[in-house]
Chains A and B, each alone.
Chain A
């Protein structure tokens, strides 16, 4: 197979046509006359986290509350490790983008006065099944925006600390893209599939976060020398057992409490931050009082039916589970469990270290959504706001002179990718991408705080993890592919391994337990006030260099 090469040029390049990327494209087109190109690994109609739908708008400033209230809530939930400046600028835009997505066609529940109906002060009720098609439709209608779909971006082109373009491959045909741009937004989403999942067998991809979000944005940034923050603040979701469907609809919708096998409500005992809710469940289980449930027995028949409907709009597997087993929530409590850890800046603070304009430490590279750090609990609407802020900043930045291309580097990239396609090198017994991925997930699970070790790690275990990941990185160099999709899988595995390396360094640097479960150190079981700092990192001479930074308030 001969790998062809194609050169493209645009004004504003967006990597990833998900929540943040689509919204950024729309904003840019409203603000400036330039060309926008979205490069998307799948197709934007259902790509990213929103494929199945979303249960509610979870970041909204309800009546009587202010953006500052949102900042305080998130700061407390994250035990202080947030960027107050980023959070406030995000919170201030939440209601504006909510009105915008409603105007594009999203159904939001309203009362008789025309006000949104809340589900707690930060949430409003919607029908989120078609949120992604609505967003994609708006993007496709905008003539300034072009789409390049089924194309996987795998490397940044940075010259003198400045972002000038990207390398990408088609996953359908033997085509290497070299794309230059005046400004670039990374909106790839975060990373799933780094740890051994809840169901490592056939249903390995039945996870909370999209298994197609492989941490490309983090890895490309790390390798290009961008500063990253708070990778150690992993996200572990409390989910319905097996289906990994959301629990918020049960907890907030019908007021279901977390109970243990003895029927005792345990959530108050451990605290009610996001991390503590998972921690309590893990502890109840490990101390012999599991399994744990959300107490739904006793809800009305009407509530039961409405729950079945609500889950069809975001996690249809849960409705199928209830109906095929006959154990619907009114007759059977819903068992809960923790997921494998994810790295996802929409829920925690993991991601690029950015300024108020969401510009990374690489000039001309912006980040929004799950790859952007410092701003937890942004969810869908917060990702929209970040896309909006980044797009506006990109409009301004674009006035700089256009980038140029390095012919020699491009030729080298072509050679190395062509080599991956060399069929002759596949011999029986050699490593496969799947096998190495499974091994990586096992290493992370056992030595870097996965499900099987109750999410705990120590300096010793992390040291072992680092060595094993390094060995896997070396082995991944020899992988070969039979087609372009397999090249994509190899690149994704390498991205995850790069992220693992940085993640382990971050976890090792947080010598405390600031958040149970999210980064729980068995050798440092307590919080240490002197570590109320950001742990940041940067690649330096091939190694991950850790930098501690002072907290930044709004």
Chain B
């Protein structure tokens, strides 16, 4: 489980590096990078923080990951999550932080 950061989409704001609870993300030439992806907990804090949608969350193959990714766009109290499936399909789920979990 880890993240990948698209250097093309990264705007170099450094917010992901700031928020990572493992201090695992660094800025190199104004682009965010995770030199040791195996140290990632998978909390997705950076994915939620990124204003450019440049960070994708995935499951490592050693834990049965199949190549899908998870991304999220924050819009005030809304979190728009998108799952990209290995077959190219997409599923979008929007969550409102003002709504409680049903379970």
Contacts and interface: CB of A to CB of B under 8 A. Distances in A.
B23 A199 contact: no
Nearest to B83: A323
A314 to B, nearest CB: 8
Nearest to A241: B64
A325 B100 contact: no
B90 to A, nearest CB: 10
Contacts, number: 169
Contact of A202 (B2, B66, B85): B2
Contacts of B58: 320
A308 B41 contact: no
Given A320-B68, A320-B70, A309 B60 contact: no
Contact of A310 (B1, B61, B101): B101
Interface residues of A, number: 61
A128 B1 CA distance: 22
A435 B79 CA distance: 39
Given A253-B103, A325-B66, A317 B18 contact: no
B29 interface: no
A242 B63 contact: yes
B62 A199 contact: yes
21 contacts: A43-B18, A45-B19, A52-B43, A125-B100, A127-B95, A198-B63, A199-B63, A203-B1, A205-B39, A205-B41, A206-B42, A211-B22, A212-B41, A243-B1, A249-B101, A306-B103, A316-B70, A319-B93, A320-B69, A321-B59, A324-B68
The 8 closest A-B pairs by CB, nearest first: A253-B103, A324-B68, A109-B100, A51-B43, A203-B60, A52-B43, A46-B45, A206-B1
A224 interface: no
Interface of B: 1-2, 18-23, 37-45, 57-70, 79, 81, 83, 85-86, 91, 93, 95, 97-103
Contacts of B40: 205
Q: Is the interface of A mostly helix, strand, loop or mixed?
A: loop
A497 B64 CA distance: 31
Interface in A471-492: 485
A187 B8 CA distance: 40
Contact of A203 (B45, B62, B81): B62
Contacts of A203: 1-2, 38, 59-60, 62-63
